[in-house]
């Protein structure tokens, strides 16, 4: 911006370009009436953080939580459980992202406060044993012993670890630290400091261990995926996040979030995206076992490109079954849109919300195409034992490829249409474009 006068004088930027840019800004301001009334809210405080907006925020915080693992259905916990150990540096902390104002976290609920509030609301006598264990930003393991004691003295342990950010003021203040946020870049997606050692020590205490990853990005820790009794992902929440995580863990909310990104096993196996281009070689992953045994492969020699959890993954406290997958037309022209319909059954014992996902694979094309593409999704709530027909519209343009003629083209051929997640097929059919 500061160099624009010199660029105009030098002829590298034209005044016409600047005029068009300014026109866009002025047009927006005129349409908003800012020149007539630059301060449209006489009492702006009355329009923010209202009961109505907090209700929506509460729902968003709850529905965005993703249940990644739930071995032997350890979750949800009963409110009659005797004691719960809340362990980790994310327990007594409000974890917002960086695009918030100074001290915005003062308005949030910590998980520790959220657990206490929820248990009080349901008149539960469950005892909470809290131990921080370690700091987010330190290798100091001196607090782990107290955390292990808390776990041993409880019926179940919940370990909350992850990444952290700061508000925009503190994020740019010299001397502060963060692992997510504007201008913050990492060379490793693993947990920082003593956090993994904390989770491992708590698990070794012998009590059921639930790991909650509170983060703004995927955490690449294969040990947690392999050994925790349950794993939950809570991307940086809003003000009600501390209460929402308690509600999910105790089953007042049935988790329904799905991953918007795949979780790689390590930084060396990135990028890990679901719609990678088709390849010709079969996977041959290697592995390093807990006892140090080495299993050699090729992709990769001692690791796997398969993510810990893939795009679209997310479990529920109920189960769903998909039947009767149909297309509004199994044969279409290149300009014809179509609908995908499927019956979704709740085969479990509690009401649940399911995100129905539709993926497409171009089976024969003139250019290399992705192995699959998400072309539609819809979230539905289904009572226990109930079912519903879900219909998702798809545009013909979503089948297009970028051709060697440098234009988008819907080519004749066969397309596989499936419902499921990026790594699991529940039902599949074919679509023909003539």
* pLDDT bucket at 268, cuts 50 / 70 / 90: very high
Average pLDDT over residues 128-140: 98
Residue whose pair of structure tokens reads 């007594």 in the numeric block: 92
Phi, psi of 353 (to 5 degrees): -110, 135
* pLDDT bucket at 2, cuts 50 / 70 / 90: confident
* Residue range 189-237, pLDDT digits in tens: 999 999 999 999 999 999 999 999 999 999 999 999 999 999 999 999 9
* pLDDT bucket at 74, cuts 50 / 70 / 90: very high
Q: What pLDDT was estimated at residue 143? A: 98
Asked whether residue 281 carries a pLDDT value surpassing 80, the answer given is: no
CA distance 419 to 327: 12
Q: What pLDDT was estimated at residue 44? A: 79
Average pLDDT over residues 91-95: 97
* Tokens read off for 137: 């930003």
CA distance 225 to 373: 26
Q: What percent of the chain has pLDDT over 70?
A: 100
- Whether cis (ω within 30° of 0) applies to the bond prior to 300 is yes
Q: What pLDDT was estimated at residue 384? A: 98
Q: What pLDDT was estimated at residue 47? A: 81
* Residue range 34-50, pLDDT digits in tens: 999 888 777 878 888 89
Q: What pLDDT was estimated at residue 70? A: 98
Q: What percent of the chain has pLDDT over 90?
A: 94
* Residue range 372-430, pLDDT digits in tens: 999 999 999 999 999 999 999 999 999 999 999 999 999 999 999 999 999 999 999 99
> Could you tell me the end-to-end alpha-carbon distance of the chain, in angstroms, rounded to an integer?
51
Beta strand 373-382 with 352-362 is antiparallel
Mean pLDDT of all residues in the chain?
95
């Amino acid at each position: 911006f500061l160099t624009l006068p010199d660029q105009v004088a030098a002829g590298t930027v034209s005044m016409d370009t600047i005029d068009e840019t300014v026109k866009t800004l002025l047009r927006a301001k005129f349409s908003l009436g800012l020149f007539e009334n630059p301060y449209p809210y006489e009492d702006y405080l009355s329009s923010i953080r209202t009961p109505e907006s907090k209700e929506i925020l509460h729902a968003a915080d709850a529905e965005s939580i993703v249940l990644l693992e739930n071995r032997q259905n350890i979750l949800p916990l009963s409110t009659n459980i005797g004691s719960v150990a809340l362990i980790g540096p994310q327990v007594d902390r409000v974890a917002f992202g960086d695009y918030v104002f100074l001290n915005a976290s003062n308005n949030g609920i910590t998980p520790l406060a959220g657990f206490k509030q929820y248990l009080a609301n349901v008149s539960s006598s469950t005892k909470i044993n809290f131990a921080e264990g370690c700091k987010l930003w330190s290798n100091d393991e001196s607090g782990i012993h107290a955390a292990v004691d808390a776990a041993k003295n409880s019926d179940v342990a919940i370990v909350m670890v992850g990444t952290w950010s700061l508000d925009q003021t503190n994020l740019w203040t010299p001397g502060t630290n963060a692992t997510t946020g504007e201008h913050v870049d990492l060379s490793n997606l693993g947990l920082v400091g003593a956090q993994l050692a904390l989770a491992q020590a708590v698990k070794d205490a012998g009590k059921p261990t639930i790991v909650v990853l509170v983060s703004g990005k995927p955490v690449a820790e294969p040990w947690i995926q392999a050994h925790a009794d349950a794993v939950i992902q809570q991307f940086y929440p809003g003000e009600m996040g501390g209460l929402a995580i308690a509600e999910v863990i105790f089953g007042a909310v049935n988790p329904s979030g799905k991953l918007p990104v795949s979780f790689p096993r390590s930084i060396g196996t990135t990028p890990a995206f679901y719609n990678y281009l088709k390849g010709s070689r079969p996977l041959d992953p290697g592995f390093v076992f807990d006892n140090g045994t080495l299993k050699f492969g090729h992709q990769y020699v001692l690791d796997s490109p398969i993510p810990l959890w893939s795009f679209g993954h997310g479990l529920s406290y109920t189960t769903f079954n998909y039947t009767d997958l149909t297309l509004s037309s199994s044969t279409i022209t290149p300009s014809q849109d179509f609908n995908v319909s499927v019956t979704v059954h709740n085969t479990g014992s509690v009401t649940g919300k399911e995100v129905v996902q539709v993926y497409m694979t171009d089976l024969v094309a003139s250019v290399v195409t992705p192995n699959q593409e998400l072309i539609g999704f819809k979230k539905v709530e289904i009572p226990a034992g109930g079912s519903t027909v879900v219909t998702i519209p798809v545009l013909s343009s979503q089948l297009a490829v970028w051709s060697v003629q440098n234009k988008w083209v819907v080519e004749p051929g066969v397309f596989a249409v499936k419902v499921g997640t990026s790594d699991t097929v529940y039902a599949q059919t074919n679509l023909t474009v003539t």
